Structure formats: structure tokens, C-alpha cells
Amino acid sequence: MYRHIDDIGIFGGEPLFATPRPIGQLAKPPFEAFLELARPALEHRPIGGAGLVETLEGRLAEFHGVAHCVAVANAGLALIFLMHFFADGRRGEVIMPAFSYRGLPHFAQWAGQAPRFCDVQAGTHGLDPVRVSQLFSDRTTSILAVCNFNSPGAIDELCEVAAACQLPIFFDSVYAFSATYKGRMLGSAGAAEVYSLHATKVLNGFEGGYVTTADGRLAQAIRTLRDANGLGGINARLHDLHAAMALASLDEVDSVIHDNHARFQAYAEMCRGLPGLEMLPCGEAGERSAFALAILEVGDAWPYTRDETIALLVAEGAAIGAYYSPPLHRSPHAPPGPVPALPVSEALSRKYLQLPGGALVSLDDIERIAERLAFFYANADAIGARMRAGAVT
């Protein structure tokens, strides 16, 4: 279909999408199912809760195949509690990946720890075990590894390094919900794992988070920390309504993952016709993945930079951004101090952008994105020249 370049969003034309296409999952269970579960919480408001949190914890422990699940107000607080617990009163450092979520260095500081950024593996994007062993010192109180949406990373090797250094290691698995590692559902890696129930994640509880662990003592410590009962905790309970929502959503997980996978395949198909664009694949062969994110790699054969591509798509109504860019050690989220050289994280942070995904993005939307990207490709000289001449505000 012929279109003039004046018509594209970035030059003032009507955007492809009248309502923005987001990146978060935003799945919703049937409203009646949620209401039914939430009824005891809404009507009676018993002190100590309606038992919904305990029910959720039981089902999640079963889902992940672990002995203990402790639900809290959100995943950030869970991470703070774990770092605080492992530090045991000391002010030290937590080793964490530089190519990751901006909240991590903040959470460490709430727990009285300084973030120590570490380089990652080019393939999995997870902590590089060799780099971890080089960074560990007597100031290190724990290792925070991240299981990414595309790969859980080198879990066994990282745990070996942690054991050799005699350090606790725990995993932020927020984007790896429902993924498997060596054939086994994630949930029991390291000392503990943390998951999120935020609406933008595969399991939607409005807000919320939980810790999975085989360690009963650790589980009890987190339970104590989430209660403002005078034993050194704060209020960090999961809201009954959020537990009800998460329970209703648990029944929808397979369907959500199925749709994520279909969207991923549509995007992969799109990339086959577009030189220099490739979807970041999810999961090793034979492993399960939830395809929680749709991440596009922008290569040299594509006639725009990664950031130009983002600008083009944002102007079309895609509510997207760069993926983990800038890397944390070079971001405003790093506390002041010397900036290490972390070449793999730095290279990765230049490559990727997040594509629209989740329940509000249809296969038809993806076809239209594909069409528009093909137009951008076919008219790259004219569009690129105009963009770079500063004709774009």
C-alpha cells in the first residue's frame, strides 16, 4: 500500500495506533471469578485477613514445587527483606547485574547495602559467574542474580561460585515466572527466589510479590519482617484483594503464555522480512518459557539506530522504550562513585528495544507494525535524512 513519508507518525501524520499499545502483560481473569474469590475480603473484613493470602501461598508453593512461599506487598520489598536478612546487621555490598531492572540498586540501599555492579553473560544476559568470583570481597553480604525472561542464566555455576565464596545467593525471577531450568520449574534456585504479582507480569494480582524457598528459617524470617508486630518488621502484607486477583489469575496462566507465544511467533515472522531485525529468543531448546517480553534486537543491517527505531514506533502509538538502557552502572540509579568498565552490559544495552506486548496487543496489531516497519525500511533514505536533519521535534 503506497503511503507518503509525511503520513508517518514521527513527521506529524496520524499514529498507527489511536490508543497506545503497552508493553505490560495486563492479563485479566474473568471478573466474576475474581469477585467470588474476593467476596470474603470485601464483605466481612476479618482481622488478620480472610485466609486468601495463605491459600495463595499454598498454591504458589505447589506451582513452584517448593516447601515455602511467603507473599508480600510487592517484589521490591521482598528483595529488600532478603538483602537485609543476609546482611545480618552489616553495611556491605550486594553483587548484582548491570544489565537489569533500575529498581535493584535502590532496593539494596533501602537494605543498607551498596550495589556492586557486575558484568553479565552475552548469551543469557544473566550474571557471569567468572566476573562474580572476581568481584566478591569481605564487604559482600549477598549475591542478587536475575533470571531473565529469555533465560534463567547459569544458575548452577552461580550457586557454585556463591558456595565457594561462602555467600548467600538469591534470584530475582520476576520475568521468569513459569520458566524451567534443566527441565525443572523455577522456584528453588539458590537460597530463595522472588516473583511479582504486578499487573504487568504474567501472573496479575494488581500489585504484590512473593518469595519461594526451601529454607524454613528464611521463610519465617520474611514472615517476621512483613509484620509490624514489634519484632523488627514493618507492614508489608499482601492485600487480600490482591491475593484474590492472583488466585483468579493463576487459572489463566496457560492461556496467557499461549497468547504470548503466538505474539512472539508473529513478531519473529515479521523479522524474517526485515534485514537487521531479530527477536531475542526465549528459553534454551526443550525449556519452557512464558515469553513474558517481546524484545527486538536492532542490528547493523537495519538502516536506523536502535533509538531512531524507538522514536519512529513511539510516534506511531507504541508505548515502548529501550531495554535496560543505559546499563545500571552508567545510569542515574547508580549511587555516586567510580564507574567500572562492564563491556558486555554496555554492548547489550545498545542493542535492544521492547516491542508492544501483552493482552492489549493483537496479532492484527503486530501485522500492522510489521507493515509500518517495512515502509520505514523501504523509505529509509528519505526518512533517515529528514530525521537526522532535525526536522523532527
Tally DSSP H helices, then E strands, for the chain: 13, 12
Q: According to CB under 8 A, which residues from 9 to 28 bind other proteins?
A: 26, 28
What's the chain's Rg over C-alpha atoms?
A: 22
Cβ–Cβ contacts within 10 Å for residue 294, how many? 25
Cβ–Cβ contacts within 10 Å for residue 301, how many? 10
Number of residues that bind other proteins (CB under 8 A): 48
How distant, in Å, are the alpha carbons of 78, 82, 211, 351 from that of 221?
11, 9, 11, 40
* Residue 118, beta-bridge partner list: 97
Query: What's the CA gap between 344 and 22, in Å, rounded?
Result: 28
Query: What's the CA gap between 357 and 359, in Å, rounded?
Result: 7
Is residue 116 a contact residue for other proteins (CB under 8 A)?
A: no
Is residue 312 a contact residue for other proteins (CB under 8 A)?
A: no
Is residue 114 a contact residue for other proteins (CB under 8 A)?
A: no
The region of 92-100, 204-212, 336-344, 371-379 touching other proteins under the rule CB under 8 A is 204-212
Task: Name the residue nearer to other proteins (CB basis): 215 or 227.
Answer: 227
Task: Name the residue nearer to other proteins (CB basis): 111 or 211.
Answer: 111
Binding test (CB under 8 A) with other proteins, winner from 37, 77, 145, 293: 77
**139-157: b (≥16 Cβ within 10 Å) or e:** ebbbbbbbbbbbbbbbbeb
Least distance in angstroms from the C-beta of 77 to other proteins: 7
Helix (H) or strand (E) holding 169: strand 169-172
Is residue 90 a contact residue for other proteins (CB under 8 A)?
A: no
Least distance in angstroms from the C-beta of 266 to other proteins: 21
Binding test (CB under 8 A) with other proteins, winner from 271, 359, 387, 392: 359
Q: Find out whether 201 and 174 touch, Cβ atoms under 8 Å.
A: yes
Is residue 51 a contact residue for other proteins (CB under 8 A)?
A: no
Task: Name the residue nearer to other proteins (CB basis): 115 or 283.
Answer: 115
Task: Name the residue nearer to other proteins (CB basis): 83 or 176.
Answer: 83
Contact pattern from residue 209 through residue 248 relative to other proteins, giving x for each residue in contact according to CB under 8 A and a dash for the rest: -------------------xxxxxxxxxx-xxxx--x---
The region of 70-78, 118-126, 310-318, 345-353 touching other proteins under the rule CB under 8 A is 70-78
Backbone angles phi, psi at 294, to 5 degrees: -115, 100
The region of 69-77, 115-123, 258-266, 288-296 touching other proteins under the rule CB under 8 A is 69-77
The region of 35-43, 141-149, 179-187, 307-315 touching other proteins under the rule CB under 8 A is 35-43
Q: Is 59 helix (H, G, I), strand (E, B) or coil?
A: helix
Beta strand spans in the chain (E):
68-72, 93-97, 114-118, 140-146, 169-172, 180-181, 184-185, 193-196, 209-213, 277-279, 295-298, 352-354
Least distance in angstroms from the C-beta of 67 to other proteins: 26
Backbone angles phi, psi at 187, to 5 degrees: 155, -25
Binding site for other proteins (CB under 8 A): 26, 28, 31, 34-35, 41-42, 45, 47, 73-77, 80, 84, 102-103, 106-107, 109-112, 198-200, 204, 206-207, 228-237, 239-242, 245, 321, 359-360
